[in-house]
A = this chain, B = another copy of it.
Amino acid sequence: MATGYVWLRNMSTFTGRLYSVQIDPNELPGIDKLGVKNYRSLLDIPEPVDYVLVAVPRSVAPRIIADCIKKGVGGASLFTSGFAETHSEQGETLQETLVALAREANLNLIGPNCMGVFNPNLGVRQDINQYHGQSGPVGFISQSGTHAIFFSQVGARHGLLISKSVSYGNGAVMDSPDYLEYFAEDADTKVIGLYVEGVKDGRRFLDSLRGAARKKPVLVWKGGLGEEGCRAISSHTGSLASAPVLWDSLVKQCGAIRIDNLDEMVDCMKTILYVNPPLGSRVALVAQSGGQSVVIADAFTKAGLTAPLLSQTSYQQFATFFNTIGGTYLNPLDTSWHAPSIKDSVRILDILSTDENVDSLVAELSLPFLSQIWDFYPPYLDDLVAALADFKSRCSKAFLVVVSAGQLEEAALTVRNKLMEKGIPSFPSFDRVARALAKVAEYHRSHGR
């Protein structure tokens, strides 16, 4: 374990006992300073070892893995890279050696060329900036260390905490199907995210995916669309990528949700975990200006959802109070003149929530507009968020909020946090909320809900 004790620091939050194995005498004072007991060999550690993080030069890796096997450790994760992904003879031979060793001994080997396990409850981390001592319902499986770490950190800012996560790199021994099977059974995990670059055994992958998707929502993000992406994958994890068109339909047939990027992963998970399941594709769209009413409608059209005309009951109720000069309640709604009034805003939502033509409600909060109110009356924002939380608690339909930041990008982060604290999922653009709702609605439909 070298490079500035990065891994010892990452693991400094581990709630169990942490040991270092290092033979370079120059490194020992630094390790001592971190308060970590060092041994010259894994085999010298005087108790059983559950998890070994291996970060040694690649040529040394087989010796350390052999030690892991002798010691009978619970599992090992190999950070070291320079194996099959280099497409060099030395790299490929070394990887074959590792695989043979691990297979024969039935060692749970993660990697190589990976960031290993993130278990926030136990304080086992992949990166110094990951949280610990708290956890959530999201299991994450990633062939990329960057995406595993980014997702854990970006997700945390959106109310998506990790149960356990694994970065598995080349997947030389344990591959995506093994992790899918684990998370499918894991009681702490309510939803599974997967970033995959390549699959070695297509049939086994699809079987595992189908099995997992029967038990809980699985979101699959496949890297490698074209020639360039496949070239990147080949250098990154040494995987062979497959034709995206075929892949997409297979993933859907397995009952999983196909995801295009990390933002969409976050958006769809938020929708799954924080939103009532939409029972159809009909959405009531509430914008706070005429211009935005057009744009929100376009975003939902593009995503394949519909904003139908409302029921006569709703229109009769709107007709009693709604100002249609510089506004409309047809759907999409333009609430311009009513938006400043929290009472009116909730009244509008309450009418929509009981409309028989509507499965989901999406409401805009336009900050350039609303900030002019809270600049004069600062409690306005908290009052508004509280009223929306009240509404959400009594609304049996899917309810999602879009925060239109305009130039107020910093304020938008504050508003998102305030909403999140009350369990209200918000989205930064009409396109993003529309795509997430469309994918999650389709998921529920395909599962017969």
Interface of A with B (CB < 8 Å)?
58, 81-82, 86, 113, 127-129, 142-147, 149-150, 153-154, 156-157, 195, 197, 223-229, 231-233, 235-237, 261-263, 285, 287, 289-302, 306-307, 324-328, 330-332, 334, 366, 368, 372, 404, 406-407, 409-410, 413, 429-431
Q: What are the 5 A-B residue pairs with the smallest beta carbon separation, nearest first?
A: A144-B291, A226-B301, A236-B290, A235-B328, A146-B291
A232 contacts B82, CB within 8 Å?
Answer: no
A58-B325, A235-B334 known; 16 other A-B pairs, CB under 8 Å? A82-B326, A113-B326, A144-B289, A145-B291, A147-B291, A156-B407, A157-B409, A223-B298, A225-B302, A226-B301, A228-B297, A232-B293, A235-B328, A236-B294, A261-B299, A261-B431
CB-nearest residue of chain B relative to A299?
A: B261
CB-nearest residue of chain B relative to A332?
A: B232
Q: How far is the CA of A142 from the CA of B145 in the complex (A)?
A: 44
A128 contacts B372, CB within 8 Å?
Answer: yes
A231 contacts B332, CB within 8 Å?
Answer: yes
Copy count, this protein chain? 2
From residue A414, how far is it (CB to closest CB) to chain B in Å?
10
Q: How far is the CA of A291 from the CA of B146 in the complex (A)?
A: 6
CB-nearest residue of chain B relative to A82?
A: B325
B231 contacts A261, CB within 8 Å?
Answer: no
Supply 5 A–B pairs (Cβ within 8 Å), ascending by A: A82-B325, A236-B291, A236-B293, A410-B410, A410-B413
From residue A156, how far is it (CB to closest CB) to chain B in Å?
7
Q: How far is the CA of A325 from the CA of B236 in the complex (A)?
A: 10
B295 contacts A228, CB within 8 Å?
Answer: no
Q: How far is the CA of A157 from the CA of B405 in the complex (A)?
A: 12
B156 contacts A229, CB within 8 Å?
Answer: no
From residue A299, how far is it (CB to closest CB) to chain B in Å?
8
Q: How far is the CA of A406 from the CA of B146 in the complex (A)?
A: 10
A297 contacts B236, CB within 8 Å?
Answer: no
A228 contacts B145, CB within 8 Å?
Answer: no
Q: How far is the CA of A407 from the CA of B233 in the complex (A)?
A: 24
Given contacts A146-B292, A153-B368, A326-B113, whether A298 and B237 have CB atoms under 8 Å apart is no
Q: How far is the CA of A92 from the CA of B299 in the complex (A)?
A: 30
- With most chain B CB atoms within 10 A of its CB, the pick from A145, A223, A334 is A223
Q: How far is the CA of A14 from the CA of B233 in the complex (A)?
A: 57
- With most chain B CB atoms within 10 A of its CB, the pick from A224, A229, A330 is A229
Select one of B142, B235, B332 contacting A228, CB under 8 A.
B332
A294 contacts B413, CB within 8 Å?
Answer: no
CB contacts (< 8 Å) of A149 on chain B: these are: 368, 406
Q: How far is the CA of A150 from the CA of B364 in the complex (A)?
A: 15
Q: How far is the CA of A237 from the CA of B291 in the complex (A)?
A: 9
Select one of B128, B285, B295 contacting A223, CB under 8 A.
B295
Q: How far is the CA of A225 from the CA of B325 in the complex (A)?
A: 24
B58 contacts A306, CB within 8 Å?
Answer: no
B228 contacts A301, CB within 8 Å?
Answer: yes
CB contacts (< 8 Å) of A129 on chain B: these are: 368, 372, 407
CB contacts (< 8 Å) of A128 on chain B: these are: 372
CB-nearest residue of chain B relative to A326?
A: B81
CB contacts (< 8 Å) of A235 on chain B: these are: 290, 293, 324, 327-328, 330, 334
CB contacts (< 8 Å) of A372 on chain B: these are: 128-129
A86 contacts B324, CB within 8 Å?
Answer: yes
Q: How far is the CA of A409 from the CA of B295 in the complex (A)?
A: 25
Q: How far is the CA of A156 from the CA of B157 in the complex (A)?
A: 27
B197 contacts A294, CB within 8 Å?
Answer: yes
CB-nearest residue of chain B relative to A283?
A: B228
CB contacts (< 8 Å) of A58 on chain B: these are: 325
Q: How far is the CA of A313 from the CA of B227 in the complex (A)?
A: 22
CB contacts (< 8 Å) of A325 on chain B: these are: 58, 81-82, 86
From residue A165, how far is it (CB to closest CB) to chain B in Å?
14
Q: How far is the CA of A154 from the CA of B367 in the complex (A)?
A: 12
